[in-house]
Amino acid sequence: MVRQFIVGGNWKMNGSRGTVSTLVKGLNEASLDKNVEVVVAPPALYINSVVETLKVGQVAGQNIYSESKGAFTGEISAEMLKDVGAQWVLLGHSERRHVFGEDSKSIAKKVKHALNTGLKVMYCVGETLDEREANQTTAVVFEQLQAVADVIQDWSQVVIAYEPVWAIGTGKVATPEQAQEVHHAIRQWLADKVNAQTAEATRIMYGGSVNAGNCKEIGKKADVDGFLVGGASLKPEFIDIINAQL
């Protein structure tokens, strides 16, 4: 099976109306690999604007709450994202886990709700530097995956993003071989715990200081099906990352 390459741009808590407009204009005017699925995740306040102006990709929310509505001040529902035209949501990002204290069980609940609402999900997994140095990478990643497997059966609308926490925003990056090793382990876990068809079909993105200089080599690996890009998605080099397969 040939899995379509996917590149996501997580803009995090960055931008203004002006800079968002500039980012969208840059993407719209760029020559992009037409075989790559492009998804951008702007701050919630700008989602509607990006949906209305972006011509070359889809739009994701950066997070949701696990309920449809109610007295949850400051939260955003999956239904709200759909209402303004978003098609995806990013869940389980390491910053949600390690800055805001979200655990795998609560994140899995969000994943289930998002899928039930009709959103596609980029589900982030990954280990800290201490966990990697303690040889706990697969144990940590598998626990994060199992939390979702406990509450969903259909993975067809889920893309997994492996993001080693030690390589996010640090300038450090996993070698292509390190990325492939974990991606392969994730695919094998899916085969063992879900089924072989899901393992073959599920796209696994790499996220962790991806840039124009390293994307081509990492993207060549057999089990790397795309990139989840943070800081570089706010720069012109995001175009080069999207075009890494050319």
* Maximum Cα interatomic distance, the chain, rounded to a whole number of Å: 48
- Identify which of 146, 125, 131 has the alpha carbon closest to the alpha carbon of residue 190: 146
Active site positions, annotated: 93, 163
Whole-Å CA distances, 241 to 36, 51, 54, 144, 161: 10, 22, 18, 27, 16
Phi, psi of 45 (to 5 degrees): -60, -25
Cβ atoms 99, 170 nearer than 8 A: no
Alpha-helical regions (H) of the chain = 17-29, 47-53, 78-83, 94-98, 104-117, 129-133, 137-149, 176-193, 196-201, 215-219, 237-242
- State the CB neighbour count (10 A cutoff) for residue 97: 20
Cβ atoms 210, 241 nearer than 8 A: yes
